[in-house]
Chain A
């Protein structure tokens, strides 16, 4: 019992859980592919239709830039829309059903476990994005990055944007430890995330006061920054500043969520007698 000889500790294997569950459900894969195709098709025709009514650029974006931004936004949303709910595997569900206790009974800190699972989810979502990107490029829907510098800045922006996105979603998960049921908070954050990140429409189309407000929130760092770098709306000369803002958000939210994890661990509610 309790053998001293141990195999290598490989907690990173937990990152594979959600992708593996998805791969075991062919209907989910089909539904995802179908939904992405329909969404890309619709946004391409929507933005081309809108630009047909105007001459030249609007809000600093020409037609190709606007379409590229919208298509990339649709693909990027796939990264954070993995269906953990049907697998009873959201933090909210674990708290509700009391299964969160197992997170505290394994030799992996809950904070690390959560991060590994999110990493697996994001890499799996990224695979979809890459596949969708290549298809859209070959179909002529997406132009290449505005320049090589823009492409490099875009890649850096995507990584930093995903870090910020993970921390924002983690904040909502941690909120569950205080509220137990955070359905309303989650919906508000998701709406704010979509609106203020540029998923609904490029932030460049919104009025000045709206963009000023979003400058003080982390959401635009998740999507608007990397997409604007890709299409060249943020020129390479301004890329360092944009990436720095993303990094500041990533670090600030990391500090905040680390502190909240500590507080949350003290609040694991006793379920039952």
Chain B
């Protein structure tokens, strides 16, 4: 779990989430006709913790990718950071403001795009929507014009901004939404799958726009996406979330090192070397004459039975070259999508401290007759 490395100055300008937890309560229908009748008078309440103890920070002028499979808790986290949802526990600060306590002040500091959900008015031309937002946020006319010109140069909006939003293509509409979200010059931007459904040309244009906003305008961006190309091209740092918990907070290299251990090295060895044992953490996957395929030793690292983590592909290459006399060498490495798939699917081993805390929570919950484990729904009756 990440700890807050940010000092007070960073916290005042970027994003800080500390132990954010959000629990939802919903009524579920019991099975059968009798169950349905009983549910009417005595509803069965189900508690589900969508996000649990999420902590991370993003410094000003940085882009962080918040990744995770569907239903992992990414959008819930963003909704707490934007002030739409109030956390059940924990705290958040965005540009120095507690978003769910000071919604209006927070609104001036942030911009947001939620995938294909548009904030533009369907019956108005996009440029008229921009003008309405200018007045809502109180942006001076000259500033508004200059910013529109800047966005137009990056996103080519003027080709279609006089078209009514209902007639825009998805790519055109999302570009307009990006512009709408940044027209009031917010220091912090939340983007929830902004390029979903776009073609590759528009995606690249949007990526260029986002890079510009981070590098040239110093905006802090929190991005969620399932597009690994986008992650590879934009993200300096990644927070991986699954089942409402943070699994990893680090660079792409760290993720590759931890979850991308399915590389293979195809080597042709000197015949005299064939009997030697492979270096530590590396095993022989198969052998055909002098051609040997090496892979990570499955006994160590995440998901393994113990021991040290397998070496990264770069370390493995060095170890193999140092250990053997190699006449030919080829590398087969998973791409980022494979790495993320492995990360999503692998059951994250949980630190002893966390497991002990969960036990205490579960014990307390049993005594109360209410909650259970964070990720799993826990049923109980409540008013």
Contacts and interface: CB of A to CB of B under 8 A. Distances in A.
Interface of A: 1-3, 5-11, 13-14, 16-18, 20-22, 24-25, 86-89, 97-99, 101-102, 104-109, 266, 268, 270-273
B138 A273 contact: no
B122 A87 contact: yes
Contact of A105 (B110, B141, B164, B218): B110
B84 A104 contact: yes
B68 A7 contact: no
Contact of A7 (B79, B85, B119, B139): B139
- Nearest first, the 7 closest Cβ-Cβ pairs linking A and B are A21-B123, A273-B71, A10-B135, A102-B119, A13-B135, A9-B138, A87-B123
Given A1-B186, A11-B135, A13-B131, 10 more contacts: A6-B139, A7-B141, A14-B136, A16-B132, A87-B166, A268-B79, A270-B22, A270-B76, A273-B74, A273-B75
A270 B75 contact: yes
B351 to A, nearest CB: 24
Interface in B103-153: 103-105, 107-110, 112, 114, 117-119, 121-125, 128, 131-141, 143
Contacts of A14: 132, 135-136
Contacts of B118: 99
B124 A108 contact: no
B122 A1 contact: no
A17 B75 contact: no
Interface of B: 22, 24, 50, 68-76, 79, 82-86, 95, 103-105, 107-110, 112, 114, 117-119, 121-125, 128, 131-141, 143, 164, 166, 185-187, 217-219
B139 A270 contact: no
A271 to B, nearest CB: 7
Nearest to B113: A102
A80 B298 CA distance: 69
Contacts of B134: 7
B114 A101 contact: yes
A21 B85 contact: no
A176 B175 CA distance: 30
A13 B75 contact: no
Contacts of A86: 123
Nearest to B114: A101
